[in-house]
Structures are given as C-alpha cells and as structure tokens.
Amino acid sequence: MTDEADLTALLRRRIALEGPITVAAFMAEALGHPRFGYYMRQDPLGRSGDFITAPEISQMFGELVGLWCANMWQAMGSPSRVRLVELGPGRGTLMADALRATRRVPGFHAAVELHLVETSPALRERQRSTLSGEDLPPRHWHGSFADVPDGPMVLVANEFFDALPVHQLQRGDRHWHERLVDFADGKFRLVVSPHPSPLAALLGPRFADAPAGSIAEVCPAALSLAGSIAARLVEGDGAALIVDYGPSRSGPGETLQALRHHAAHEVLADPGAADLTAHVDFEALARAAVQAGAAAHGPVPQGVFLARLGIEARMQVLLRGATEAQRQAVVSGGRRLIEPAQMGTLFKALALTHPDLPVPEGFAA
C-alpha cells in the first residue's frame, strides 16, 4: 500500500465516522499530516520536485529582500538585538542570499538572531545544510510563529500564506454555505452543506452582491497569523514582508489548485502526493493587521517592488565579467521575477510595520 493510499484510507475513515469534512481540513491533512502529509515526506522544491520559488530562480530576489530587512532594521533605530524571522524558509536559499548581501551593513549581523519557522523535517535538514557556517548569526528553528521569542523583529514570508488551509463557501439564494469533501463511488467529491456558514462573517463588503453559485475562499489561519504578526510588531517594533500570489483586492472566485511535477493535478486526487495552494487575499490580510494596530503598505506587484529595490542595477553588476551561460541565467531569472507575463504581476508584496515606522522601501511611489 502506498503512502497516498494510506492517507486516502485515513481520510475515508474520518469521513465515514464524522461525515463530510471541510476543504480546509482536507488541505491541512494533505499537506501537513505527520506521516503522510506532502510537506512531511519530501523536499518539493526545484526541477526534480513539484514547483520552484523566487529564491531558487535568482539570487537577486533573496539579496534584495535581505537589504530590505537591513533597511527596516536601520529605520527601527538599529536595535542591538533583532529577530530575523522567516516563515517557511524552503531550502534556506532566500536567507542565505539575504545574509550574504547584508554582510557589509554595519552592525546588522551582530544584532541578528535567525528564527526559522518550519514544520517539514526534510526541509529543516536542507536549511541546516544551506545555513551552516561559523560566520552566520545564531540560528533557531520553530514549529510555529507562536514559538518565536518576543522582541524587535523583521519577518519575511515568501510563498507561505498560499499553503495555509482555505475554506470554500458557495453562495445560495440567500446565504453562503460551506463546501465539504465527501467520499463516494471510490473517490473524493465536493458537496455543499445545507446550513448557512458562520464563516460568511469573514467575507468583506466586495462579496455582498455575489450572485448565486459564486465561490468564495476564506482562510481563518491566515487572518489569525496576520493579526498575530501585527500585534508583535506593535508591541516589540519591527516590520514584516509578505510576498505571495493573488489579487490586490478581495473578491469571489475559486483558486485552490494542485501541482505535481510542475503540472496541474486534480485537487482531490491522491491527497499527500501534490502541493495544494490558493490565492492569498492580500486585502483581508492588510485589514487584519490594521485591526491589530499595525500599518499596512501595499500590496504592490512583485515586479514593481523589485524594480524599486534596484533589481536592474543588481543585474548589471552580476553581468560584469559573466560567461555567456551565466549572463543568460542572470537575465532569464531576473525577467522571470519581474515580467508581467511571468511572476511580476500575479505575485504581490505586502508590508506590515509598527505604525511609527516610515513607509518601507519598495512601497513608496
């Protein structure tokens, strides 16, 4: 029996005992089950995995994000101790590039403590290997953001929020009803609860006039985390940078998707074998952060954000003395990050800060 069949059997048994489960519960098990979850068993990144993220595409992404973090530390008054936090650090590539780029920022590395929030054992091992070296700041790993110590903080979350479990609601004639996952005729399928969903209270005003049959996705876990991050920033000072994919404004639409071997996969098929993600509701994240007392800046398209941080100038530096193969890699990687037809428009950057801090780099027109 394969691992996928094992998770399928567990979910079938759960549905038989409890009845249909929420899409969020299905997604949480498929990605994070301690034994059979997608992120628990493997390194999903890179050409041999299922997807590739911006830090793996070009070193320029992590370098510019690192300099953004150092700039925010300076805007905070250069505190003698700052938590540099990354949620879902992947292989550690972003942080390694960020630390290399900020090595010459006076006092920054001496002040930094690295706090990496990662649940995947496979990825933790990759991060330990990537971030090895006596010259690096102290490193700490945590299972959740709640375990990160209090204090001044600069936080980065790149392609983290899109993997948090979403609930799906479907508009009826008068109310929003939750979509549920059932099992029948040998496969998982979606059904709709007959009861109005209390999660409709989380929908913003843009959903008020949605016609019958519309689908809405809400992510209580993302809203709670954004509020927790914002509360930390208000209490202890600091800034957070969230980079992910999704629209600038909230609105109806079904975006939950599965990816396997860099190709689309059926969402409910083979739980644990494919990556599941959904568009991030940046407007809802910003609203949750502001309600917790923080300031929100953006979102702005990733291409605009990186251009304002100087990606073109950095590209020219890397091209000096490069071989033809290196030149092609630098240019193609940079274009993939910023071109509207690639990652430049769909991906967005959102900054959350202590309300007394200035507008962060990359967010002022």
> How far apart, in whole angstroms, are the C-alpha atoms of residue 170 and residue 179?
7
The per-residue pLDDT for 101 is 96
Within the chain, residue ranges assigned H as helices are 3-18, 23-32, 38-41, 54-57, 59-75, 93-101, 108-111, 121-130, 220-236, 282-291, 302-309, 311-319, 324-338
**Looking at residue 338, what is its pLDDT?**
96
SS3 content of the chain, % helix, strand, coil (to 5): 40, 25, 35
Report pLDDT for 193.
97
Q: What is the pLDDT of residue 268?
A: 94
CA 128 to chain centre: 20
The interaxial angle of helices 302-309 and 324-338, nearest 10 deg, is: 120
Can you list the domains of the chain with their CATH numbers? 51-164+239-246+281-353 (3.40.50.150)
Res 106: pLDDT? 97
CA 281 vs. chain centroid, Å, equals: 11
Cβ neighbours for 364, distance < 8 A, ≥ 6 positions apart? 308
Burial 73-86 (b: 16+ CB within 10 A, else e): bebbeeeeebbbbb
What does residue 72 show for φ and ψ, rounded to 5 degrees? -70, -35
Residue with tokens 């209580």: 220
Q: Edge-to-edge strands of the sheet including 263-265?
A: 263-265, 257-260, 275-277
- The whole-angstrom separation of Cα 98 and Cα 355 is 25
Please answer whether residues 299 and 32 qualify as being in contact, where contact means their C-beta atoms are separated by less than 8 angstroms: no
Q: Which of 280, 277, 281, 279 is nearest to 257 (CA)?
A: 277
Contact 241, 156 (CB under 8 A): yes
pLDDT in tens, the chain (365 residues): 344 458 999 999 999 999 999 999 999 999 999 889 888 876 655 454 555 788 999 999 999 999 999 999 999 999 999 999 999 999 999 999 999 999 999 999 999 999 999 998 889 999 999 999 878 999 999 999 999 999 999 999 999 999 999 999 999 999 999 999 999 999 999 999 999 999 999 998 889 999 999 999 999 999 999 999 999 999 999 999 999 999 999 999 999 999 888 788 899 999 998 999 999 999 999 999 999 999 999 999 999 999 999 999 999 999 998 899 999 999 999 999 999 999 999 999 999 999 999 999 999 97
Residue 74, both tokens:
């300076």
CA distance linking residue 350 with residue 362, whole number of Å: 10
Task: Assess contact for 195 and 57: CB atoms under 8 A.
Answer: no
Closest CA to 175 of 219, 208, 217, 222: 208
Please give the Cα distance from 39 to 169 (Å, whole number): 26
